C-alpha cells in the first residue's frame, strides 16, 4: 500500500514580492492534477484568494488552512484525498529577535491524522523560520524541538524547514528523523531563485524535506521535480509505503 505526496513552497508572496503568481498557480494546479498525489503539502500560500483558487481547481481534496477573510496565517495549505479524522493548526510566535523580513508573518505546522486502509497515518506540513544571521538558527532549533513533540511512530513530515542538509543531519537524523531525498531543492539554476541570487556565487541547497521518524516502519522515496519550474523552490514528489 502506497501514498503519493507532492510538496512545494509556492512562493506566492503578496504585493508583487514574487513573480508570475497567476501563471505559476495555473502550473502548480496542472502539476498536481497530472501527478495525482494523495497528499499535497503547500507552503507560502499567504492570501485566501490563492487558497480559494487551489480549492476551486482541486475539488477532490479536503483542505486545511487558516480561516480568515484575507490572509492565510502560516501560509500553509494541506490537501488530502482522504478526509482527516483529526486536524490541528499551530502557529509559531514571532520573536522579538526575529529578522525584519520574518516579522511580517507567522509560520507554523499542520498536523493531520488519516485512516488509510485500516492504518492510521499522521501527516505534518511545516514551514520553519528562515535564518538570516547565524544566531537565528536558535529559533529554528526551538521550532524543530516543537515539531519533535508532535511526532508519532507513523508520521510523515513534509515541508520547508529552511535548514541545509548538513544542519538537518546534525540536528535531526541522529535524533529522530530518517531523511528522504538528499538532492538540492533550492538552486541558482532555478529561473526564479536566481533573480535574487548573488551573481558572483552559485548555490545549491536542500531545504525542503520528506522525513520519517527514526523508529518508523514506513518506507519513503522522494526526489525534487525540476521540470516544470513552479517556484523559487523545486517541488518534492514521492511515495510512502505502508
What confidence tens digit (pLDDT) does each residue in 6-36 have?
Answer: 999 999 998 888 999 999 999 999 999 999 9
Bridge partners (DSSP) listed for residue 212: 178
Instruction: Tell me the helices (H) and strands (E) count for the chain, helix number first.
Output: 4, 14
Model pLDDT, residue 198 = 60
Q: How many other C-beta atoms can be found within 10 angstroms of the C-beta atom of residue 142? A: 15
pLDDT values of the chain reduced to their tens digit, one per residue, 242 residues? 899 999 999 999 988 889 999 999 999 999 999 999 999 999 999 999 999 999 999 999 999 999 778 899 999 999 999 999 999 999 998 776 666 666 677 899 999 999 988 889 999 999 999 888 777 778 888 999 999 999 988 999 999 999 988 888 888 877 778 888 889 999 988 888 876 666 556 788 999 999 999 889 899 999 999 999 999 999 999 999 98
Give the Cα separation of 27 and 153 in Å (integer). Answer: 35
pLDDT at residue 72 in the model: 95
Q: Which three cell numbers stand for residue 86?
A: 483529526
Nearest partner of 128 among 161, 151, 102, judged by Cα: 161
Range of the domain at 30: 2-241
| Closest CA relative to residue 43, chosen from 83, 85, 14, 72 | 72
Q: How far apart are CA 49 and CA 65, in angstroms?
A: 12
Instruction: Tell me whether strands 62-64 and 2-12 are parallel, antiparallel or unpaired.
Output: unpaired
Rounded Cα distance, 163 and 166, in Å:
8
Write b or e for each residue in 21-39: b if 16 or more Cβ atoms lie within 10 A of its Cβ, otherwise e.
Answer: beebbeebbebbeeeebbb
- Per-residue pLDDT, 79: 98
Is the pTM higher than 0.75?
yes
At residue 227, the pLDDT reads: 93
- Predicted pLDDT at 37: 98
The CATH number covering residue 130 comes to 3.60.10.10
Number of domains in the chain: 1
Can you say how many angstroms the Cα of residue 185 is from the centroid of all Cα atoms in its chain? 11
Q: Which of 93, 94, 161 is nearest to 124 (CA)?
A: 161
Task: Give me the pLDDT at residue 196, please.
Answer: 65
Structural Rg of the chain based on CA atoms: 17
pLDDT attached to residue 100:
60
Burial class (CB in 10 A: 0-12, 13-18, 19+), 160: buried
d(CA 146, CA 108): 10
> For residue 184, is it left (φ>0), alpha (ψ between -120 and 50) or beta?
beta
Amino acid at each position: 500500500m502506497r501514498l503519493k505526496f507532492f510538496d512545494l513552497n509556492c512562493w506566492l508572496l503578496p504585493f508583487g514580492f514574487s513573480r508570475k503568481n497567476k501563471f505559476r498557480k495555473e502550473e502548480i494546479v496542472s502539476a498536481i492534477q497530472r501527478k495525482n498525489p494523495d497528499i499535497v503539502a503547500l507552503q507560502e500560500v499567504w492570501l485566501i484568494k490563492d487558497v480559494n483558487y487551489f480549492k476551486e481547481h482541486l475539488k477532490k481534496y479536503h483542505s486545511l488552512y487558516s480561516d480568515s477573510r484575507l490572509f492565510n496565517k502560516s501560509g500553509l495549505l494541506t490537501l488530502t484525498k482522504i478526509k482527516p479524522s483529526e486536524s490541528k493548526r499551530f502557529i509559531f510566535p514571532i520573536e522579538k529577535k526575529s529578522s525584519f523580513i520574518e516579522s511580517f508573518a507567522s509560520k507554523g505546522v499542520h498536523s493531520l491524522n488519516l485512516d488509510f486502509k485500516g492504518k492510521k497515518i499522521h501527516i505534518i506540513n511545516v514551514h520553519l523560520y528562515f535564518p538570516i544571521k547565524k544566531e537565528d538558527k536558535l529559533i529554528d532549533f526551538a521550532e524543530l524541538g516543537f515539531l519533535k513533540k508532535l511526532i508519532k511512530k507513523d508520521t510523515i513530515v513534509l515541508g520547508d524547514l529552511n535548514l541545509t542538509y548538513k544542519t538537518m543531519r546534525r540536528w535531526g537524523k541522529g535524533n529522530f528523523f530518517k531523511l528522504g531525498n538528499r538532492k538540492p531543492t533550492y538552486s541558482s539554476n532555478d529561473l526564479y531563485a536566481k533573480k535574487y541570487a548573488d551573481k558572483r556565487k552559485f548555490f545549491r541547497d536542500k531545504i525542503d524535506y520528506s522525513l520519517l521518524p527514526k523508529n518508523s516502519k514506513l518506507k519513503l522515496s522522494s526526489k525534487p521535480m525540476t521540470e516544470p519550474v513552479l517556484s523559487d523552490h523545486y517541488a518534492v514528489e514521492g511515495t510512502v509505503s505502508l
